[in-house]
Amino acid sequence: MLAGCPVFPADNYWNTPIDGLPVHSDSAAWVGSIGQTDLHPDFGGPYGIPITVTSAKPRAKVRFQYAAESDHVRYPLNGRTRIEPASDRHAIVLHKPSCRLFETWNTKRTAGGWTAGSGATWNLRSNRLRPRTWTSADAAGLPILPGLLRWSEVRKGEVRHAIRFTAPSSAPRFIWPARHQAGDDPAAPPMGARFRLRAGFDVSGYSARTRVVITAMQRYGLVLADNGTGWYFQGATSSRWPDRLIAELKSIPSSAFEAVDTSGLVRSPNSARTQTPPFGGS
């Protein structure tokens, strides 16, 4: 839950454990193509993707660069909207009264009004996916919010969702529940590929809060959602992220990850609802 709203249903792809799924046949090739390095938490201090929670009525009309694949509705953007202070300039806005998520990329407020590269909106109580081949504020055509680590959940001791991450290249295709591709390397993983930290990873020496994130990476894994620096994974902006947590997360090697075969989770190609019970239930 976030601000009283579900971050998609419990049986949604993002919220479904994948620790029992088989290893993907292309796991070694995909992990190798991303690069042999340590993980990099792309948050902490001034970094991360901010989340704006608002009750303001969506009034802003936005002009999009990729207009054909954007949702042409009014967006709840205003002078208080927090925008990622980096090249991607994502705006992640949760409209609290309707539990509707609005996301834009390359978001700018100009003299002539709001502009963005692309924009998408989701009902957070629904498993409905975007139209096939449509982008979103992310290259995979997926929402960003459910894949962001949040300090509030780490502090409470449990992260119950997958985590968004980037790779330097991707395949010219996508797999469920991704809806869009942005790659040209057939040897690289496709958008929507899911990875997990191996169950036998040695957690001794890590602090309790770092182990919370490690457990999430083992149980829910990482989802390839965009092209970017290899093994960068995203969190929400917060001044409270502990320096020790960030430093320890940077020591986790990419070689400890494996790709998983998520094809058995598919209930419908146009829905993010999964076949298996959420959270390991029966």
Together in a domain, 112 and 68:
yes
pLDDT surpassing 90 at residue 42: yes
User: How far, in Å, CA of 105 to CA of 220, rounded?
Assistant: 26
Q: What single string gives the DSSP state of each residue in 204-215? A: TT--HHHHHHHH
Q: Which pTM was predicted?
A: 0.96
Q: Do 16 and 152 share a domain, yes or no?
A: yes
Does 79 have pLDDT greater than 60?
yes
Residue 275 counted as domain residue: no
Whether 186 shows a pLDDT value over 70: the answer reads yes
Examine the fold and report which residue of 143, 163, 189 is the final residue of a domain before the chain moves on. Answer: 143
Query: Which pLDDT band, with edges at 50, 70 and 90, does 93 fall under?
Result: very high
Q: Is position 280 within any domain? A: no
In a domain, 278, yes or no: no
Q: Does 139 lie in the same domain as 20?
A: no
Q: Does some domain include residue 282?
A: no
Query: Which of 116-130, 176-190, 265-279 comes out lowest in average pLDDT?
Result: 265-279
Task: Identify whether 277 is part of a domain.
Answer: no
Question: What is the pLDDT at residue 282?
Answer: 34
Say whether both 251 and 191 belong to one domain. Answer: yes
Question: Are 153 and 247 contained in the same domain?
Answer: yes
Q: How confident is the model at residue 87 (pLDDT cuts 50, 70, 90)?
A: confident
User: Which element (helix H / strand E) includes 220?
Assistant: none
How far, in Å, CA of 256 to CA of 261, rounded? 17
Confidence of residue 132 (pLDDT cuts 50, 70, 90): very high
Counted domains in the chain: 2
Domain extent, residue 82, equals 50-143
How far apart are alpha carbons 182 and 160 in whole angstroms? 28
Q: Given the DSSP bridges, would you call strands 91-95 and 100-105 parallel, antiparallel or unpaired?
A: antiparallel
Does residue 219 belong to any structural domain of this protein? yes
- Is the same domain home to 33 and 91? no
Mean pLDDT of 38-52: 95
Express as a percent the part of the chain with pLDDT over 70: 98
In the chain, pLDDT over 90 holds for what percent of residues? 96
Is the bond into 177 cis (omega within 30 degrees of 0)? yes
**How much is the average pLDDT of 190-202?**
97
Residues 202-223 have pLDDT tens digits of 999 999 999 999 999 999 999 9
- Whether 97 has a pLDDT exceeding 80, the answer reads yes
Q: What is the mean pLDDT of residues 148-162?
A: 98
